[in-house]
Structure 1
Amino acid sequence: MAEQGGDLAGKRILVPESRDLDLFAGMMEQHGAETIRCPMVKILDLDDPAPAREWLERLMAEGFDDIVLLTGEGLRRLMKVASAMDRETEVIAAIGRARVFVRGPKPVKALREIGCSPFKSAPAPTTDGVIAMLSEEDLSGRRVGIQLYPDNPNEPLLEAVRARGGTPVAVTPYRYANDSETGAVQTAIRDMAAGRIDFVAFTASPQVRRLQEVAEACGLADDFRQGFARTRIAAVGPVVAEAVEAAGGTVAVSPESTFHMKPLVNAIRRLLTEGVQAG
């Protein structure tokens, strides 16, 4: 429930977050915002964990010279599979023997949870950032385990590894499921088009795609375009910002360096405060 006063008082903010929905919405409500909770995407275990098990078996049997982690969730899901195999200790030891390259701070945190640390972090938490990081490495003859995320086979990254002489071995250890009912998403699209939402705060690119898919499937493409044009959009980081732009939107605000929820809330607050001062 929104508190009286605060930087976000009187602002209605659409929150498509799923996993940390109450936490994220609460951060904005404590500054006075009215939040519209509309979880778009849920992260689930694989229906068939066999591909993840096979990847882990290769990691333990052959060892990867290098490992590329794109998400913290990916490592946690792999460790969940390792636990089900009763092979956690062996998997952690094999990860510890490899050079681990990470896309951003979330996989760093997940690595620390199992007592490991990264060899190198990408200069920007994007695929381009990971490719730039790997471009500095000679991967000739090296086996490179790559953790991908759903709905993105990321051929540019795999090709970049091949171009440096490496052999990529990819795994996608979790899947996305639509979380919010389509009716709730339709209402959010109509409210954006009608100007009843001041901000939409995206924390993951699949949220953007889900919103667009519902619009197209339900005959709301025009409402979506109108709403995306008139509603200020906050993106937690550059990957999400790219998804927003691909969907025809413009990012009004994003954290400058630390791509987490609290910095995103603070960035929204700064934007609104500056707007009031300018007015």
Structure 2
Amino acid sequence: MLDLPPVPGDRRASVSGGLTPVMAGCVVLVTADRRSGELASALARRGATVRHAPSLGIVPHVDDEQLLARTRELVADPPEIVVVTTGIGFRGWVEAADAAGLADDLLAALSGARLVARGPKARGALQATGLVADWVADSETSREVLGHLLAEEALDGRRIAVQHHGAGADGIDEELAAAGADVVSLVVYRWGPPRDPAAVRDSVRAAAAGDIDAAVFTSAPGAHAWLGTVRAEGALADIVGRSGDGSMVMAAVGPVTAGPLRAVGIEPLVPDRGRLGALVRTLVGHYENLHTAAVTTPAGRLQVRRTVALLGDHVLPLSPSGLEVLRLLVEARGAVVTREQLLAALPGSSCDPHTAEVVVARVREVCGGREVVQTVVKRGYRLALSS
């Protein structure tokens, strides 16, 4: 997914398209099934390497006779109130109705109802069909929708259609029915088992071993399912520990999705708005802050990550040995690093000072020469820092 062409006149590299590769060297786990391609592309454009392991699958109901039967019931006896909980679910409902030749009749039946949307994505799906939401839940939770209906509407005897998301009804049907409403439930898709359970297990093991730098979650059921595999693999303590020390970043699209993570002691990044774009910006912003906190050298900001080093907005073409040498120099923050310390950090067991000199020469070459990596006579090397 990475495209790192050489910069003219420079041995360094940058991500194509003009975007700063602020996430270069970061392996990001995407646990979502739906819209995963869009999410992965957005992260890859900022330099990330994306690993995809959906923790749940989506089971569509396009051929579900119950869905079509209830759709026909609503066409024959239109609802007074319609609750739309997800954009993808509403679109799937209309598509299923269209496949059965019912789409026009369904939209006509819905057009006379009070339309309640569980967030902007649900509102957008309504708008795409020419319908307009009468009320939208700011928190994007079923609980807010239920509270609004119970407080604002006289529900006794009123016919309410509720399109559910993959996690189920969240108790909303029962409470509306208890208030006297005639509730028609429509499940347009539901969560099912992951298509590739082995990939999910491998992602958990990689996260526990330190090979995943960030994990992204877009639904509470997906987060809960991934954590279930974490527990099954005996990796919960390792992953909670990595999240706590900052070596692995967790990001959730909203507070509801963050709930299962917080329940086990993980505090994820959560954007102010529950959108994939906002989620990507929040994660990118986290790494931009780290980039800003990097050491400053005469050649620019320098940061060493787990698998790459960045100088300014460029990825340095370093070998694993060069990366470890540069990591030591950065961690020393301008203090002298001896040849013995450098040799100890290199693969193998060489005691030849010339080995360290060769690696340092390569590091100098890609970092801009002696003005960045300086020799301290008879002592070792130091990184030149700018104030």
TM above 0.5, yes or no, is yes
Does the aligned pair in 2 maintain the 1:16–1:38 contact within 8 Å? yes
Structure 2 counterpart SS, 1:9: coil
Give the alignment of 1:151-230 within 5 angstroms. Answer: 151-155=167-171, 157-216=172-231, 219-220=232-233, 222-230=234-242
Deviation at 1:269? 1.5
Structure 2 counterpart SS, 1:63: coil
Aligned to 2:348: none
Aligned to 1:119: 134
Structure 2 counterpart SS, 1:7: coil
CA distance in 2, matches of 1:95, 1:189: 44
Give the alignment of 1:15-30 within 5 angstroms. Answer: 15-30=30-45
CA distance in 2, matches of 1:15, 1:82: 31
Structure 1 unaligned regions, length at least 5: none
Does the aligned pair in 2 maintain the 1:16–1:39 contact within 8 Å? yes
Q: 1:273 and 2:288 equivalent? A: yes
Aligned to 1:99: 114
| Residues 249/184 of structure 1: CA separation in 2 closer, same or farther (3 Å cut) | farther
Q: Deviations over 1:17-67 (max 9, x none)?
A: 223222211111111112112233332323861221122122111111101
Give the letter for the 1:2 counterpart.
Answer: L
Does the aligned pair in 1 maintain the 2:168–2:187 contact within 8 Å? no
Give the alignment of 1:16-55 within 5 angstroms. Answer: 16-46=31-61, 49-55=64-70
CA distance in 2, matches of 1:107, 1:34: 31
CA distance in 2, matches of 1:127, 1:244: 20
Does the aligned pair in 2 maintain the 1:38–1:184 contact within 8 Å? yes
Structure 2 unaligned regions, length at least 5: 4-13, 15-19, 243-247, 295-387
Give the letter for the 1:232 counterpart.
Answer: V
CA distance in 2, matches of 1:162, 1:178: 30
Aligned to 1:130: 145
Q: What is the aligned-residue RMSD (CA, Å)? A: 2.2
Aligned to 1:66: 81
Aligned to 2:258: 241
* More displaced 10-residue stretch of structure 1: 7-16 or 44-53: 44-53
Give the letter for the 2:164 counterpart.
Answer: L
CA distance in 1, matches of 2:62, 2:102: 20
Q: Which has the higher contact order (CA 8 A, sep 6+)?
A: 1
Give the letter for the 1:268 counterpart.
Answer: L
Does the aligned pair in 1 maintain the 2:70–2:186 contact within 8 Å? yes
Q: Deviations over 1:202-256 (max 9, x none)?
A: 112232233233344xx41x2134214423210111221123334x152331110
Q: Deviations over 1:167-206 (max 9, x none)?
A: 2221212233334422211111111112221110111223
Does the aligned pair in 2 maintain the 1:125–1:238 contact within 8 Å? no
Structure 1 counterpart SS, 2:235: helix
Deviation at 1:278? 5.2
Deviation at 1:270? 1.5
Find 2:162's aligned residue among 130, 133, 146.
Answer: 146
Does the aligned pair in 1 maintain the 2:30–2:36 contact within 8 Å? yes
Does the aligned pair in 1 maintain the 2:141–2:256 contact within 8 Å? yes
* More displaced 10-residue stretch of structure 1: 201-210 or 174-183: 174-183
Aligned to 1:232: 249
Q: 1:90 and 2:127 equivalent? A: no
CA distance in 1, matches of 2:192, 2:235: 24
Deviation at 1:164? 4.2
Give the letter for the 2:259 counterpart.
Answer: E
CA distance in 2, matches of 1:186, 1:88: 41
Does the aligned pair in 2 maintain the 1:189–1:224 contact within 8 Å? no
* More displaced 10-residue stretch of structure 1: 31-40 or 103-112: 31-40
Does the aligned pair in 1 maintain the 2:27–2:50 contact within 8 Å? yes
Give the letter for the 1:178 counterpart.
Answer: P
Structure 2 counterpart SS, 1:57: helix
Deviation at 1:2? 2.8
Identity of aligned residues (%): 27
Structure 2 counterpart SS, 1:253: coil
Deviation at 1:144? 0.8
CA distance in 2, matches of 1:85, 1:57: 10
Does the aligned pair in 1 maintain the 2:57–2:193 contact within 8 Å? yes
